Structure 1
Amino acid sequence: MAKDGPSRRWTLPAVSAAQLLVVLDGTIVNIALPSAQRALGMSDAGRQWAITAYALAFGGLLLIGGRVSSALGHRRTFIIGLLGFAGASALGGAAGSPEMLFAARALQGVFAAGLAPAGLSLLTITFTEPRERGRAFGVFAAVGAAGSAIGLIAGGLLTEYVGWRWCLYINVPLALLAVLGATRVARDRPSRDGKGLDVPGALLSTAGFVAVVYAFNEAASLGWGSGKVLALLAAGTLLLATFVAVELRTPRPLLPMRILLHRARGGAFLAITLMFVAMFGFYLFMSYYTQTILGYSPVEAGLTLIINALATLLGSTLIAGRLHGRVSPAALILPGLLAAAAGILLLTRLTPQSTEVFGLYLVPALLLTGLGLGLVMPPTAGLATADMDWQNIGAASAAYNAGQQLGAALGTALFNTLAAGAAASYLAAHPQAAAAAGTVRGYTTALAAAAAVLLVAAIITAPLIVARRGRQRADDRKAEETTPVG
């Protein structure tokens, strides 16, 4: 459904501001955590919940948030999400105990789970003409991709010069400005397709996502062979498999399976998930390598990522945004995956003796990975919601965001474990080697794995997103005939 000119002018800034809030909060608290731990007296074992509480609530409730967005109306859900996010941020900033901070972070995740799919849905129903949709998705992707870097920079500056509490308080004025813009956005009609929520699907999806994301978070510190991690992964896999089985049989599913069975859409979900697996491994490397090996401060490490953010902006707006509708999505997604893989592979050449690291290694890698991310995000976001009936746009948007969350959690845990294991093995085999040599070997091993993930993503997704339009329509019709209508 097309929207009028004024609503288009307000929709993109409001949704972009909300996207920045959601992504930024995934990293800004990381920088502030040591200061918050000292101020609130958190234990070393418990401090991770300032990060994990947000990730679990956000990832676990995304599918429910997408369905609620369709049921209440995307604009209404968007405004409620912004107001709730602002309130939770104020509560966290004023926290007087670890428990209060953890609860506020979880509450942020709850509102973000409705805010993120509602925002993407608003873009989809507002911008319908191919060229303007390409520009809108390009800006949306650039803001989302740059959010992590901005979070690191803002977290360092605020913590150092104002105080850690402002890493949460800063969300309040940003959210209220986005609300002001959202009130000017044209109203959309809520879905009247069925009454009530798919309760079994909601419970199974939430429990499954929480178990899997929590397992990924725990694996970063306990290792993949931990009994706790393996039990969580097994439980999460079983719950999600049961969720799929239930969704195939219920008349009004939380996530209609035809959303995932569409060839091009399924390829987009897979591409963005694996892209986030690799990129969050890359961001982990940038954070640790620049600070532990090169001696950068947290602020300097964050500022280095501006190169990546600017390259993402270039790729998403000036290339992907302008080419949207003129070339096939595959012509952007596949080169994007390969460009990011090339940037990461360049860093595997690093050694403790490498010189001119910033100019010869970091800058080219940051440019290539940023350009790749900028090429991948707009077309995958467009494919994820393309040709969806308005009742199910929220569910498709939620599934797209869920893929990003799972990819980020898996990438951080997987590559942290790989780096630590490779470093330990190298030092055990070379007892005379300096600790820095083992650390660099661990980083390069993890980066090689990240590049391999991107290459595999290109190979696997190519047959899906390159599929002919006629074949895509036939597959979609077949999926609709065999899947209950949601």
Structure 2
Amino acid sequence: MFLKSPTAQTRPALTLAAVAVVQFMVSLDLSVVNVGLPQIADGLGFSAVNLAWVIHAYALTFGGLLLLGGKAADRYGRQRVLLFGLTLFGLASLAGGFAQEPGQLIAARAAQGIGAATLAPSALALLTATFPSGRPRVKAFGIWSAMNAAGGAFGVLIGGLLTQYVSWRWVMFVNVPMVVVAFAMAWRVRTAQQIARGGRPDVLGGVLATAGMVTLVFGVVRTDRHPWTSPTTVTTLAIAVVLLAGFIAVERTTRREPLIRLGLFSHRSVSGANAFNLLVGAAMASSFYFMSLYLQQVLGHGPAASGAMFLPFALGVVVGSVLAIKLGYRFAARNLLVAGALLTAAGFAWFGQISADGSFLTDVLGPSIIASVGFGLCLAPLVSTATVGVDPGELGTASGLLNSSRQIGASLGLAALGTAAHDRTGSIVTPETLNAGYGLGLTLCAALLVGAVVILLAVLRRTSTATALEHDVP
């Protein structure tokens, strides 16, 4: 049973502003650290093997706890969970900035991931509940998608500038003022929200789901040290499958309040959007990784210059998001998703033609503009499709599921495509061999997006409504 707060007063503009800042911060933190990794290694004495855990610790807790974070938002209140997540994220960012040894920074990054796992689904659920339908919903999701993508793209630029001209520690400290601003706005929102009452929580299901997701991400991120076919990786992934299968079995039979109602997947919009999001997440995370390395290791640019070269991508995503708002009033979300994904695939296919003696103007600028506009065009329709028609009491769960599919997709894609690129590079590392590996990886990113379009067309039905951002797609 779900109850509404009787004294709640909706403040749509304030809610949108708070959620926009939160989403920008969470997205920024996925990429802002990457450019500063060499300086972090020198500053804290990381070994080459352990340095990757600065990234993995965040991905592990973020991806593994998203479903639990979404359920917590539904059960205990979205605003309450959002404020908790902001507090934890801010404190973890401070701790990471002041870290004096590798273990302290890794622990801080893990705590950031826990905070993000509560922030992302609660913020998205809050936005969905505040703008349930109509033109305000289209505009709200357009702004959300622009901030989401801008955070990831600007994270590379901001990280490069801070690392080169201030200190790597500021890639952690930069979150603190954003936390303060978002907390002040979220505290004043006082929006009406569904809060679960009655029914015992499904503790066993929560343990199995969290353990399964964490084990899955753990197995995937360690493929840089243990190949996919190694006994270590195979065993880890098998344990993850067993845990997740056990979770499904428990959800089917439990008499308690389930962590996620399996009937949620009967919505074509939910299942189709999450499958699409899994592949898009894999492609986008991998492309950012390959292009960052291409700019630095093949073309020889420094951190700040490499970060600045992502600026056209960030601006293109904003342009695509604005287009999504305007076109969202006229076209079905399914059509916008297909068009955006195909445009992004074309940009990545162009990226796949990079050369070892290339330049920013000939090899980066053009495909950046095409891919970024296409990606921006996808974001708002994707989020709205994944939550449209969902019961108000399950918005947090649906939002957590969508964030989880993107994070798991990013981990799986980066590991799989990174392995393919490494194999193409071979044992002799030169700018030419690295270029060949990165080119292959970017071409595979394009293939993933084409696969996402095929899945979307197969799962989502055509709709005669003007836009699926305003109406359900059954």
Alignment TM class, shorter chain as reference: over 0.9
CA offset at residue 44 of structure 1? 2.5
Secondary structure (helix, strand or coil) at the match of 2:318 reads helix
CA contact 2:142–2:380 (8 Å) conserved in 1:
yes
1:290 corresponds to which residue?
A: 295
1:307 corresponds to which residue?
A: 312
Mapped to 2, the partners of 1:141 and 1:474 lie a distance apart of: 20
1:367 corresponds to which residue?
A: 369
CA contact 1:131–1:322 (8 Å) conserved in 2:
no
Secondary structure (helix, strand or coil) at the match of 1:46 reads helix
Mapped to 2, the partners of 1:295 and 1:379 lie a distance apart of: 38
2:286 corresponds to which residue?
A: 281
Mapped to 1, the partners of 2:105 and 2:82 lie a distance apart of: 24
2:414 corresponds to which residue?
A: 412
The answer as to 2:338 corresponding to 1:343 is no
Mapped to 2, the partners of 1:444 and 1:88 lie a distance apart of: 36
CA contact 2:202–2:258 (8 Å) conserved in 1:
yes
Q: Deviations over 1:119-160 (max 9, x none)?
A: 001110111342111111111111111222222211121122
The answer as to 2:144 corresponding to 1:140 is yes
1:403 corresponds to which residue?
A: 405
Aligned residue identity for 1:270: A
Report the TM-score when normalising by structure 2. 0.92
Mapped to 2, the partners of 1:71 and 1:350 lie a distance apart of: 49
Secondary structure (helix, strand or coil) at the match of 2:11 reads helix
CA offset at residue 85 of structure 1? 0.9
CA offset at residue 424 of structure 1? 1.3
* 1:241 aligns with one of 230, 245, 260: 245
1:265 corresponds to which residue?
A: 270
Paired positions, count: 465
1:451 corresponds to which residue?
A: 446
1:484 corresponds to which residue?
A: none
Q: Deviations over 1:323-344 (max 9, x none)?
A: 3253211110001111111111
CA contact 1:89–1:171 (8 Å) conserved in 2:
yes
Percent of residue pairs bearing the same amino acid type = 36
CA contact 1:220–1:414 (8 Å) conserved in 2:
no
* 2:168 aligns with one of 164, 168, 179: 164
CA contact 1:282–1:447 (8 Å) conserved in 2:
yes
Q: How big is the alpha-carbon RMSD for the aligned residues of Structure 1 and Structure 2?
A: 2.4
Q: How does 1:78-477 map to 2 (within 5 A)?
A: 78-251=82-255, 252-316=257-321, 318-352=322-356, 355=358, 357-424=359-426, 435-468=430-463
Structure 1 pair 198–342 and aligned structure 2 pair: CA distance change class (3 A): same
CA offset at residue 469 of structure 1? 7.5
Mapped to 1, the partners of 2:367 and 2:235 lie a distance apart of: 37
Mapped to 1, the partners of 2:89 and 2:178 lie a distance apart of: 10
Mapped to 2, the partners of 1:272 and 1:330 lie a distance apart of: 13
Structure 1 pair 474–275 and aligned structure 2 pair: CA distance change class (3 A): closer
CA contact 1:341–1:369 (8 Å) conserved in 2:
yes
CA contact 1:263–1:467 (8 Å) conserved in 2:
no
Structure 1 pair 350–154 and aligned structure 2 pair: CA distance change class (3 A): closer
Q: How does 1:64-79 map to 2 (within 5 A)?
A: 64-79=68-83
CA offset at residue 30 of structure 1? 2.2
Mapped to 2, the partners of 1:164 and 1:348 lie a distance apart of: 31
CA contact 2:345–2:447 (8 Å) conserved in 1:
yes
Mapped to 2, the partners of 1:88 and 1:195 lie a distance apart of: 33
Mapped to 2, the partners of 1:326 and 1:312 lie a distance apart of: 20
Secondary structure (helix, strand or coil) at the match of 1:466 reads coil
| Structure 2: runs of 5+ lacking an equivalent | none
Mapped to 2, the partners of 1:5 and 1:70 lie a distance apart of: 18
Mapped to 2, the partners of 1:286 and 1:390 lie a distance apart of: 40
Secondary structure (helix, strand or coil) at the match of 2:99 reads coil
Larger mean Cα displacement after TM superposition, 434-443 or 63-72: 434-443
Mapped to 1, the partners of 2:292 and 2:209 lie a distance apart of: 32
Mapped to 2, the partners of 1:140 and 1:113 lie a distance apart of: 17
CA contact 1:280–1:408 (8 Å) conserved in 2:
yes
